[in-house]
Structure 1
Amino acid sequence: MMKPSHTFAALIIAWFSVLGSIQAVTLEVKEGNSTCIKAELSASFSITYNTSNSTTSVSVPLPNSTTVDTGSSSCGADGRSPWLVAVFGSGHALGLSFTTNGSLYSVANLTLQYNLSDSSFFPGANSSDVVTVVSSSVGIWAPINSTYRCFSPITFKVGEATVTFSDMKLEAYMPGNDLSPTESVCIADKAGTTAPPTTAGTTTVAPPPTPAGKPEQGTYSVNNTNGTVCLLAQMGLQLNVSYFSRSQNKTIQALVNLVPNVTNPSGSCNTTSATLTLTEANATMLSFSFTLNTTNNKYHLSTITLQANWSDMAGTFSVGNNSLDYMRSTLGRSYMCNAEQILEVGPTFSLNTFRLQVQPFQVTTNQFATAEECQMDQDQMLIPIVVGAALAGLVLIILIAYLIGRRRSHAGYQTI
C-alpha cells in the first residue's frame, strides 16, 4: 500500500499534470490586428460544492493552458460591452466585462463558470450542472489609457465561490497593442512591501479630503455627441462611508466632502436614460443614473454607485444600488432640493446632498427649466406661513377681546 505522504505527492503531481503549472497567463482580445483588452495575471478559484455525504471546497488555479474564447470575447462593437472570456479545462470559464464613462474604465461584471461533472476538479460531486455565478461589485478600475496594476492578491466573492487575482496587469479600451506604461496601482500594492517598485509613469491615489462643514456646491454638466448639454446639475455632495481603516485597524464611519474644483464630470444621455459620473483625483468615482418613464413622462434617480480607492482603506471600496427611486420629477422640468437630503444606497454608504438642482432631460440654452421642489423644501416654506397665520390669529383674538372688554366697560357707566 502506498504511504499517505506518497499518496499526497502523487495527487499533487496528478493535479498539476491536469492543470499545467500555476503561472501568470497573458490574455488578449483583438479586433482585426488591434488589441482592445489585454490581461497578464494569475488567478485561483475556491469553490464550494455538494457531494453525496457533505459539502466540500476545492481550490482551482487558473492553468497556463488557458485561452481566450474568441466567440464570446468582444471589443464592444454595436453598443455591446467589451468582454474578455477565458476558457480552461472541461467547460470552465472566467469572464470580465468592462464599462467606461469616458475618463475611467472598470470591470462591470466578473463571471465564473464551472462544470461540476469534471471529476478532476470536483471529485464526488453529486451534480453534473454547469454553474455560472456573477459579481457586479468588483472595484477594478483605472483611468483611460492607463494600466490597472495589482501584484498583491485581491479576492472577490462570486456566488458560492471566491476568485483571487495576483500579479495582475490589465487594460481595456486600449489605444495600442501594448499595455500602457502609465499604471494605476491598487491600494493593496501601496500598503504592502512585497510589490515591485512603481514605475515613473505610475499614478498615485490621493487620500480622502477632510470634510469641513457642509460641502461646497459644484456645477456639473454632460454633453451630447453634438456638443449640447443634455444633463445639468448643481449640488453639494457628502459621502457617508463605512470602511475598514488600516491606520486604526477597525471599521470606521467617515464623512467626506466631494471637492468641485478637483472633480471631473462625464457621462452620457439618450432618450430614456442619463448618467452623470463624477471623478475626484482618480481616488473617488461617484455615478448617478436617471431613468425616464415615457408612459407618464416622469423621471427619477434609479442608480447610484461609488468606487473609492483611498489610502487608508484596506481594499478598494465599491457599492451600488440600481433600484432607487429618488429625485422624482416631470420631463421638461428640473428637480430642486435646497434642504439636506440623505440618500440611502447600501449598509455601508449613503449620500448627503445640499442645495441640489438637477435636470437630466430636455435641457435647453444650458439652463435649468422650472423647478419642482422636494417635499422638505415645501415643508420648510409652509412652516413660516403656518407660524405667521397663527400669530395673526392670536393678534386678532387679542384685539377682539380688547374691544369686547372696552365695550363692557363703557356699558357700566350711567349719564348724570
Structure 2
Amino acid sequence: MKGCQCFSALFIVCFAVLGCVQAVTLEVKDGNSTCIKAELSASLSVTYNTSNGTRTVMVSLPNSTLVDTAKSSCGGSGSAPWLVAAFGSGHAIGLSFSTNGSVYSVTNLTLQYNLSDFSLFPEANSSGVVSVTNASVGIWAPINTTYRCVSPTTIRALEVAVTFSDMRLEAYMPGNDLSPAESVCTADQTPTAPPTTTTAATTTTTAPPRPPPGTPERGTYSVRNINGTECLLAQMGLQLNVSYFSQSENKTVQELFNLTPNLTSSSGSCGASRATLVLTQDQNTTLSFIFTMNSTSNKYHLSGIVLLANWSDMSAPLSASNTSLDYLRSTLGRSFMCNAEQTLRVVPAFSLNTFRLQVQPFGVTTKQFAAAEECQMDQDQMLIPIIVGAALAGLVLIVLIAYLIGRKRSHAGYQTI
C-alpha cells in the first residue's frame, strides 16, 4: 500500500512538476502489415470543476502508452482508420483519418480523460470518463509521405488542449516503416537563402507580379444534419491572404487567392455547442470554420479557422490553424451579417478576407437566415450618411434662420415716423 502511495505521489510530481513529456511510438496493424504509425510526444492541459472552483492539470503521454487494439483499426467497409492511444486509468487520445486518394488527413481528434482518477484530478466534483472532439485538426500530408512537425502544435477541444511535439506520422502506409519523403508543417519551415556564387554577368528577366484577383464571388454554402435538413447556412465571398515559400521564385511570397463557389464543395457537422463548415476546392485547398456556442449566454462566435493548402508552387504543403479566435459574434436564433470587407487574422502567415458575409451556425429552423445582427463596420457605414445628412440639415436651418433675421431687420429700416 505504501509502495502504491509512493508511486502515485511520484506520478503526480512527474506530471505536474516536470511534465514528463516523452516520445512514444504507436502502430496500428492489420495482421503483419502496419497501416498507421506515429512517433510523437504529447501533453494535455485539462480544466475541471472542483468544489472550490476550477483547476487545471497537465497530463503527458508516459512511455507506457499503448495502442488500444480494440478501438484502433486500419479501416475498411465504410469505417475510417483509427489510432487510439491509451494510458493511465481510462485516459486516451484518438486520431481518425480519411483520404481523397492523393492526400490523407486527421479528420477527428478525440481526447478522453477519467475524472475518477483522483491521483491526476484531485478534488474533482464529478467522476467518470469525459470525451471531447475536435473535427478541424490541421494535420495532413500527401499519400506515401510522412507528416513531420517538430515544433509544438496545440489543438483545443472545449476545456482540453493537447500539445503535440516531435511528431512523425503516416497513415495508409505502403510499408511497415515511415516513408522517407516528408511533408513538413508550417512551423518547421525555415527557408534559407540560396548559396552565393560568382558567375559571369548574365541578363535575367523577372516574372511580372501576379495581378490582384479582385473581389471574390459570393458563394452559398450549407451543412445538413442526419435527417437531411439544413443546420448551418453561410453566404460569403472569401479571399485567402497567404505567405509561403515559392519554389519558382526561391523566396517567401505573399499571395491573394479567391475561392470560386462553383468549384467549392461544402461539408461539416452541427452540434449543440459546436458546428463546423468545411470548404474544399480542387482537392488542394481546404478551409474549415469552427463555431462555438456558449450555453449560458446563448451567444456564439467563430472560434477557429483551419487552412490546408497544397498549391503547385509551394515548397511544402501549408497547414495554418488557430482555434482561439473570437470573430462573428452573435446570438442564438439570429444570423451574423457583415457586408463590409473584413480581415480575419488567423496566424502570421495567413489571414482571411470576407465580403458580403452572412452566417448562421446554430438555431436554423428553415432554409432562410434568421434576423441578422450586423457587424460594427456596417453600422458605422450607416451612421456616416445619417451624420452627414444631419449636418447638412443643421447648416440649412442656420442659413434659413440667418436669412429670416436679416429680412426682419431690413423691413424695420423703412417704418414711417
TM range (shorter): 0.5 to 0.7
Q: What does 1:3-402 correspond to in 2, within 5 Å?
A: 28-29=28-29, 38-39=35-36, 69-71=67-69, 74-75=72-73, 82-83=82-83, 97-98=95-96, 106-107=105-106, 139-141=139-141, 148-150=143-145, 155-159=148-152, 162-163=166-167, 170-171=171-172, 212-402=213-403
Shift of 1:149: 2.4
Distance 1:393 1:81, change over 3 A: farther
For residues 317 and 308 of structure 2, the distance between their equivalents in structure 1, rounded to whole angstroms, comes to: 7
Q: Give unpaired runs (5+ residues) of structure 1.
A: 1-24, 47-67, 87-94, 110-135, 143-147, 173-177, 180-184, 189-208
- Read off the aligned partner of 2:150 and give its amino acid letter: K
Deviations 1:292-347 (A, max 9, x none): 11111111111111110011111110011111111110101100000011111111
* Contact preservation (8 Å) 1:187, 1:309: no
Tell me what 1:409 maps to: 410
Deviations 1:13-67 (A, max 9, x none): xxxxxxxxxxxx995446xx9x9x824x8x9899xxxxxxxxxxxxxxxxxxxxx
SS class of match (2:291): strand
Distance 1:399 1:300, change over 3 A: same
For residues 80 and 283 of structure 1, the distance between their equivalents in structure 2, rounded to whole angstroms, comes to: 21
For residues 27 and 378 of structure 1, the distance between their equivalents in structure 2, rounded to whole angstroms, comes to: 55
SS class of match (2:392): helix
Deviations 1:77-103 (A, max 9, x none): 9x99931669xxxxxxxx982356999
- Read off the aligned partner of 2:374 and give its amino acid letter: E
Tell me what 2:63 maps to: none
* Contact preservation (8 Å) 1:137, 1:319: no
* Contact preservation (8 Å) 2:222, 2:266: yes
SS class of match (2:217): coil
* Contact preservation (8 Å) 2:140, 2:147: no
For residues 216 and 278 of structure 2, the distance between their equivalents in structure 1, rounded to whole angstroms, comes to: 18
For residues 165 and 233 of structure 2, the distance between their equivalents in structure 1, rounded to whole angstroms, comes to: 42
Distance 1:141 1:253, change over 3 A: same
For residues 387 and 101 of structure 1, the distance between their equivalents in structure 2, rounded to whole angstroms, comes to: 56
**What TM-score results when the alignment is normalised by the length of structure 2?**
0.61
For residues 38 and 155 of structure 1, the distance between their equivalents in structure 2, rounded to whole angstroms, comes to: 17
Distance 1:384 1:324, change over 3 A: same
Percent identity, aligned pairs only? 56
Shift of 1:139: 3.9
Number of aligned residue pairs: 294
* Contact preservation (8 Å) 1:210, 1:257: no
For residues 296 and 287 of structure 2, the distance between their equivalents in structure 1, rounded to whole angstroms, comes to: 29
Shift of 1:74: 2.0
- Read off the aligned partner of 1:82 and give its amino acid letter: W
* Contact preservation (8 Å) 1:187, 1:314: no
- Read off the aligned partner of 2:35 and give its amino acid letter: K
* Contact preservation (8 Å) 1:344, 1:350: yes
**What TM-score results when the alignment is normalised by the length of structure 1?**
0.61
